[in-house]
Amino acid sequence: GAGVSQTPSNKVTEKGKYVELRCDPISGHTALYWYRQSLGQGPEFLIYFQGTGAADDSGLPNDRFFAVRPEGSVSTLKIQRTERGDSAVYLCATRRDSNTDTQYFGPGTRLTVL
Nearest approach, Cβ of residue 98 and other proteins (Å): 9
109/114 Cα distance (integer angstroms): 16
Q: Which stretch binds other proteins (CB under 8 A): 18-26, 42-50, 60-68, 77-85?
A: 42-50
User: Is residue 7 near other proteins by the rule CB under 8 A?
Assistant: no
58/4 Cα distance (integer angstroms): 23
Q: Which stretch binds other proteins (CB under 8 A): 11-19, 22-30, 80-88, 100-108?
A: 100-108
45-84: contacts with other proteins (CB under 8 A): 45, 48, 50, 55-56, 58-59
Q: What is each CA distance from 2 to 5, 65, 103, 105, in whole angstroms?
A: 9, 28, 14, 12
Of 24, 26, 66, 107, the one binding other proteins (CB under 8 A) is 107
105/34 Cα distance (integer angstroms): 10
48/10 Cα distance (integer angstroms): 23
Per CB under 8 A, residues contacting other proteins are: 31, 33, 35, 40-45, 48, 50, 55-56, 58-59, 91, 93, 99-100, 102-108
